Amino acid sequence: MKCPYCDFLESKVVDSRATEEGSSIRRRRECIDCGRRFTTYERLDDIPLMVIKKDGRREVFSRDKIIRGVLKASEKRPIGYEVIEGLARDIERELRNQMEHEISSQMIGEMIMERLRQIDEVAYVRFASVYRQFKDIGRFMEELEKLRRQGGE
């Protein structure tokens, strides 16, 4: 590690510890040449997940976007923020574990609906109505009937 004071290329690690959020390691270093101390941070090189939208555009994956969508669908429902945050975290973890760098927005939407159906049926229907863009009441009723049949099994 290059010393920020004298540009010498060798230093020794004096102290290492994880940061509070655990996403990086803080290292105190001492320059072998000038003896001054400095701090470096080591973190995992995070390759961004790209979301392929219906129209073919690509954008960087955002867990916050999932949280906002689910918050809107679950408005005035008895669902705690921790549950919604956990849902978004689980989806992101599952997507990263697939080792794919590009994911379709349809896949993400289906994952959200699958989890929402287990958490709260009303929030699920609200989310599905926006996500699936129901064109008429008939299609909406089909989705409700499918949900009713699955709940009765």
Q: Using alpha carbons, select from 73, 72, 111 the residue that is nearest to residue 89.
A: 111
CA distance 113 to 121: 10
Query: Please, what's the largest Cα pairwise distance for the chain?
Result: 77
Is the model more confident about 129 or about 69?
A: 69
pLDDT tens digits, residue range 18-65?
887 777 899 999 999 999 999 998 887 777 899 999 999 999 999 999
* Helix ranges (DSSP H) in the chain: 63-73, 81-97, 105-119, 121-131, 137-152
Cα-Cα-Cα-Cα torsion 122, 123, 126, 130, nearest 10 degrees, comes to -160
Q: pTM of the prediction?
A: 0.65
Sheet holding 102-104, edge to edge: 58-60, 50-52, 102-104
pLDDT tens digits, residue range 70-112?
999 999 999 999 999 999 999 999 998 888 899 999 999 999 9
